[in-house]
């Protein structure tokens, strides 16, 4: 650089006002943030495109699928299962629990009757279906929290699939011969990375109900957590001791559908996952207090959106995601806060874990994976 040009550069630097300097710094930070987000979305879309074509075997079989009959929030799971099945087998018939299921089964003679949840189907109908030589299976939705209610039903199925690995010995003790651990998954039509920049902007999100264990866990760090542009959505959050101080950032008493939830995940740099307690008698029906070890469905849905997830540590979690590589965990409120602050200031590490989580989810944790596993067990 010539002496004249160097002097001109010094002069320009000297005459910049503080406001102009701030504007230039802001523009530079905006460019950097835009680059980082574009890089994340570009790689995420590439990962999704690699798994666009199904790699599961197509089976010539007919499944009679009995929906949960519970409406939202179970209806999106019904949609995920029925739609995924249609791409994997030759015929799917969908019915509701209130219909004469045993008569329908007798008329169409499916290879399998698959029931989601099973709370609203009469056991006599299941017995009649099995007497016709048709295989039956149930995919339980809320283990271990409602085991008092599932106890009466599980013995009427040939195959029991549960979200909770700790429920396997319990159902075996009840006489169920074929019990398998099969958690839910990510339905990639609902949960996937957005191609465009989200209109929402969040640093940290939590979406879910304010069960008492969550209120007690988060209360000691809530003041600090909410300083990081944290937004919470879900019912009962007015239980927080200092709710009035945060109510402008908490949307209370609203169930968010899959599309709205996925938009929030995509808009967030970090999403917190904090599992409910298996000992909360105010909402649970788990008299035998079966402990929960397996990850909830939200675990897979967050990861499918290429967003960094901070989850409380459950013993089964490492079977599905590698901590520190595909997910981050915490074991105390302070560790949760420390990791929020760390990853908000370490963009590259945050981004790589989020992309690794997406890759693992697309490879191993879609409904195609789960249903292929189920059908392989029933029809080996």
Q: Is pLDDT at 73 greater than 70 in this prediction?
A: yes
Residue 195 has pLDDT above 60, yes or no: yes
254 vs 371, higher pLDDT: 371
Mean pLDDT for all residues in the chain? 92
- Counting other chains too, the contacts that 142-147 makes at CB distance below 8 Å and 24 or more residues apart are 142/117, 143/167, 143/290, 144/278, 144/286, 144/290, 144/291, 144/292, 145/276, 145/278, 145/283, 145/284, 145/285, 145/286, 145/292, 146/284, 146/285, 146/286, 147/285, 147/286, 147/287, 147/288, 147/290
CB of 112 within 8 A of CB of 136?
A: yes
- Residue-level pLDDT at 25: 60
Residue 19 has a pLDDT of: 63
Query: Quick check: 239 and 212 in contact, CB under 8 A?
Result: yes
pTM for this prediction: 0.89
Give the pLDDT score at 30.
47
Beta strands per DSSP E along 96-201: 112-116, 135-139, 159-162, 179-181
Structure-token pair, residue 336 = 């949760």
3-class SS at 250?
strand
pLDDT one-digit tens code per residue, 21-41: 656 565 555 445 656 677 898
Given the structure tokens 């995509």, which residue do they identify? 266
Distance from C-alpha of 351 to C-alpha of 341, rounded to nearest angstrom? 15
Q: What are phi and psi of 134, to 5 degrees?
A: -95, 135
Specify the DSSP class assigned to residue 58.
Answer: P
Please, which pLDDT band fits residue 161 given cuts at 50, 70 and 90? Answer: very high
* Predicted local distance difference test score (pLDDT) of residue 21: 65
* Among candidate residues 231, 234, 207, the one with its CA nearest the CA of residue 299: 207
Asked whether 127 and 103 are in contact (CB, 8 A), the reply is: no
Q: What percent of the chain has pLDDT over 70?
A: 90
What is the DSSP-derived secondary structure letter of residue 120?
T
pLDDT of residue 201: 85
pLDDT, mean of residues 53-75: 94
Q: Over 80: is that where the pLDDT of 106 sits?
A: yes
On whether the CB atoms of residues 124 and 135 are closer than 8 A, the answer is: no
User: What pLDDT does residue 253 have?
Assistant: 87
Which position has the higher pLDDT, 336 or 197? Answer: 336
Instruction: Give residue-wise pLDDT tens across range 257-267.
Output: 999 999 999 99
Instruction: Kindly tell me if the per-residue pLDDT of 358 is higher than 70.
Output: yes
Confidence of residue 10 (pLDDT cuts 50, 70, 90): very low
Which domains does the chain show, CATH number per domain? 59-185+367-378 (3.40.50.11930), 202-364 (3.40.50.2000)
Provide the pLDDT confidence category of residue 290 given band limits of 50, 70 and 90: very high
What pLDDT is stored for residue 11 in this prediction?
45
pLDDT in tens, 199-246: 788 999 999 999 999 999 999 999 999 999 999 999 999 999 999 999
User: What is the pLDDT, as a whole number, of residue 197?
Assistant: 72
Which of 164, 141, 156, 154 has the alpha carbon at shortest distance from 80?
Answer: 141
Instruction: Name the strand (E) or helix (H) holding 312.
Output: strand 308-312
Tokens of 78: 């019904």
Lowest mean pLDDT among 77-91, 127-141, 186-200: 186-200
* Cα–Cα distance measured from residue 134 to residue 125, given in angstroms and rounded to the nearest whole number: 12
Coil, helix or strand at residue 62: strand
* DSSP codes of every residue in 224-243: HHGGG-EEEEETTGGGSTTH
């Amino acid at each position: 650089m010539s002496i004249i040009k160097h002097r001109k550069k010094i002069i320009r630097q000297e005459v910049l006002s503080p406001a102009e300097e701030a504007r230039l710094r802001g523009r530079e930070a905006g460019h950097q943030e835009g680059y980082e987000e574009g890089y994340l979305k570009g790689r995420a879309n590439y990962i999704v495109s690699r798994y666009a074509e199904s790699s599961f075997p197509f089976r010539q079989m007919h499944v009679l699928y009995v929906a949960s009959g519970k409406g939202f929030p179970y209806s999106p799971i019904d949609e995920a299962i029925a739609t995924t099945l249609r791409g994997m087998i030759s015929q799917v018939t969908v019915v509701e629990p209130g219909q004469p299921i045993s008569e329908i089964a007798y008329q169409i003679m499916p290879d399998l009757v698959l029931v989601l949840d099973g709370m609203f189907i009469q056991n006599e109908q299941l017995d009649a279906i099995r007497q016709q030589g048709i295989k039956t299976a149930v995919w339980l939705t809320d283990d271990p929290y409602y085991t008092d209610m599932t106890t009466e039903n599980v013995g009427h199925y040939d195959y029991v699939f549960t979200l909770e690995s700790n429920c396997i010995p319990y159902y075996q003790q009840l006489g169920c011969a074929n019990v398998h651990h099969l958690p839910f998954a990510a339905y990639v039509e609902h949960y996937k990375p957005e191609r465009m920049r989200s209109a929402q902007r969040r640093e940290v999100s939590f979406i879910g109900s304010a069960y008492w264990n969550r209120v007690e866990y988060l209360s000691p760090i809530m003041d600090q957590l909410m300083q990081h542009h944290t937004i919470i959505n879900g019912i009962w959050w007015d239980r927080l001791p200092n709710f009035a101080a945060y109510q402008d950032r908490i949307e209370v008493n609203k169930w968010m559908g899959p599309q709205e939830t996925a938009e929030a995940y995509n808009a967030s740099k970090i999403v917190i996952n904090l599992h409910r307690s298996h000992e909360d008698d105010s909402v649970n029906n788990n008299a035998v207090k079966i402990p929960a070890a397996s990850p909830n469905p939200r675990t897979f849905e967050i990861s499918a959106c290429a967003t960094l997830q901070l989850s409380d540590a459950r013993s089964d979690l490492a079977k599905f995601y590698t901590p520190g590589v595909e997910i981050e965990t915490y074991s105390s409120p302070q560790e949760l806060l420390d990791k929020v602050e760390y990853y908000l200031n370490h963009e590259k590490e945050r981004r790589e874990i989020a992309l690794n989580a997406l890759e693992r989810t697309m490879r191993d944790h879609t409904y195609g994976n789960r249903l292929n596993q189920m059908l392989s067990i029933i029809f080996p």
